[in-house]
Amino acid sequence: MFSIYRKEIVSFFSSPVGYVVTVIFLLLVGWFIWINPGEMNVLDGGYASIDSLFFIAPWVFLFLVPAVTMRSFAEERKTGTIELLLTQPVSEIKLVMAKYFAALTLILISLSPCLIYYATVYWLGNPVGNVDSGGTWGSFIGLFMLAAAYTSIGIFASSLTDSQIISFLVAASLCFFFYAGFDGLSSLFGMRSVNAFLITLGINEHYKSLSRGVIDLRDLVYFVGLSAIFSGAAKLKLQLSKR
């Protein structure tokens, strides 16, 4: 499993994919936080906060995470190496997990420079350190869990096809639906209980909960469960491919 994980990491950074993903993410987020005038701009807002990062990042991840994961299994299918992988003495779930953690590692590497934004706002505060550290770290945890869920969805989408474009489109669509789709569905019903239930099925509700700085076990269970469901679905697709 570790050899496959290492191979994936090396392949990411031996091609432009890893660098492009990191640079695009940092440029987009940096543009909205520091340059583009408006409410999201830290300097214009006048508050020692990087809440705009945690508002923008889930939408940017809708495209960047599928771009990272689209090649995971789709490329193996297209080149014909998937048969070789499936005949190795590695179980399907370990194969899925190796691909999953490799993609998640790249996304975390892309996210880690954002700590510089936090440090900058921390020192720009008046007085220094006048920032909601609890809420900020809770938001980082929420963003990590969201990235983990997106990654599992992307790995599943990649296991379905040998086309990276189709994998990207399926993953982006599923990520969007789980992030905002249930909120939209809830507006179609007049019953509060039904609306509340539909909202809890979506990623956005649990992400916002963690972003408040309160680490609720229910939110963590949701993200872990969602990641496990799509990772298990990818494993099942690989098992069916062996037949």
Three-point CA angle 234, 206, 201, nearest 5°: 60
The per-residue pLDDT for 242 is 67
Domain boundaries, the chain: 2-241
- pLDDT above 70 (res 230): yes
Say which residue the tokens 């399907």 belong to.
Answer: 92
Half-sphere exposure of 108 (CA within 13 A, CB side): 13
Among 41-55, 75-89, 105-119, 201-215, the minimum mean pLDDT is found in 41-55
3-state secondary structure of 89: coil
pLDDT confidence tier of residue 9, bands split at 50, 70 and 90: confident
Is residue 61 classed exposed, middle or buried when 0-12, 13-18 and 19+ CB atoms within 10 A define those classes? buried
The per-residue pLDDT for 243 is 63
Helix, strand, coil: what percent of the chain each, to 5? 80, 0, 20
Question: Is 169 within 8 Å of 62 (Cβ atoms)?
Answer: no
The per-residue pLDDT for 128 is 67
DSSP calls for 215-240? --HHHHHHHHHHHHHHHHHHHHHHHH
Q: pTM for this structure?
A: 0.89
Three-state SS string over 18-87 comes to HHHHHHHHHHHHHHHHHHCCCCCCHHHHCCCCCHHHHHHHHHHHHHHHHHHHCCCCHHHHHHCCHHHHHC
